[in-house]
Structure 1
Amino acid sequence: MTIGFVAAVRNAMLDAITTQTGGSAKLRIYAGTRPATGGAETTVLAELTCNATFAPAASGGVLTLNSITSAAASASGTATWARLLKSDGTTIIADMSVGTSGADLNLNSTALSSGATVSVTSATITAGNP
């Protein structure tokens, strides 16, 4: 059985992510097998910059990120996972799956081509079960 948290607790957990992330966080997208959280990077396909204000306060157990700046892919490959880092580009906040549907981070296509624009039209993080 899973633990269910009330919305106020889920919101506080999510707001802690915003606090830890700070302004202009980096979202790095990778090809290859996702390592254990914080593990060694695989092939970097793209790095996008999050808004200077990461997200407004969480509501209903959901954190809706502010805009993420599009960027050109630095390599070609299939996006399989992503890492959220502070703006310093080294402090790891979270690792997540990447897909086109049902993943932690959903892209229009996971097939990225070097030089092509990579964009995230919307992103949310959900905490726990109600």
Structure 2
Amino acid sequence: MKLTTAIRTAVAQEIVDAMAAGTANPTPVMEIYTGAEPAQMGQTISDTLLGTLDLSAGAADNLNGVIDFHTISDEPSAPASGNAGWCRVLNRDGNEAVYFSISEDGSADIQFNTTSIIQGAPISISSLQVVVGGA
């Protein structure tokens, strides 16, 4: 799918707002899972949770349809081993805001330098941008 910059910007802002919504917790979180991104949100997740990373309270900025994440805190010790396939962001009230697919070859929403997560090892994301709807 390709979108105009105006539409990409509007959609990206909706995602940024959804991630930052809520007041129950100080920050939204990103949960990283094995497997493929589920077809629908809100279903029971059977994939293995590989890590949970805290986002900043505002989560991200919208730069003309590019979601530019603020600081992402490390997962100091991954609870399980596996290959990361997708992640979800839960807003500050713990509600699902968005799912992103993960790859290490550029074929997904988010590219990691490696999708291999090892139990007990840290998970670190130094910077993250997601282009909404292609360029």
- Please tell me the TM-score bracket, short chain as reference: 0.7 to 0.9
Counterpart contact for 2:55–2:72, Cα < 8 Å: yes
* Residue 48 of structure 2: aligned partner: 43
Structure 1: stretches of 5+ with no match in the other structure: none
Q: Deviations over 1:37-79 (max 9, x none)?
A: 31321111101111122122x2232121111101121111111
Q: CA deviation at 1:105?
A: 1.9
Provide the TM-score with structure 2 as the length reference.
0.81
Q: Return the alpha-carbon distance in structure 1 between the equivalents of residues 11 and 49 of structure 2.
A: 28
* Residue 59 of structure 1: aligned partner: 63
SS in 1 for 2:60: coil
Q: Return the alpha-carbon distance in structure 2 between the equivalents of residues 129 and 43 of structure 1.
A: 29
The 5-angstrom pairing of residues 21-100 of structure 1 reads 21-22=19-20, 24-38=27-41, 39-41=43-45, 42-56=47-61, 58-71=62-75, 72-89=77-94, 91-100=95-104
Q: CA deviation at 1:3?
A: 5.7
SS in 2 for 1:69: coil
Counterpart contact for 1:29–1:83, Cα < 8 Å: yes
Which range moves more in the overlay, 10-19 or 65-74? 10-19
Identity, % of aligned pairs? 30
Flag the 1:32–1:61 CA change in 2: closer, same or farther, 3 A.
closer
Q: Return the alpha-carbon distance in structure 1 between the equivalents of residues 55 and 35 of structure 2.
A: 23
Q: CA deviation at 1:94?
A: 1.4
Structure 2: stretches of 5+ with no match in the other structure: 22-26
Q: 1:9 aligns with which of 4, 7, 10?
A: 7
Q: Which runs of 4+ in 1 moved over 6 A?
A: none
Matched positions, count: 126
SS in 2 for 1:118: coil
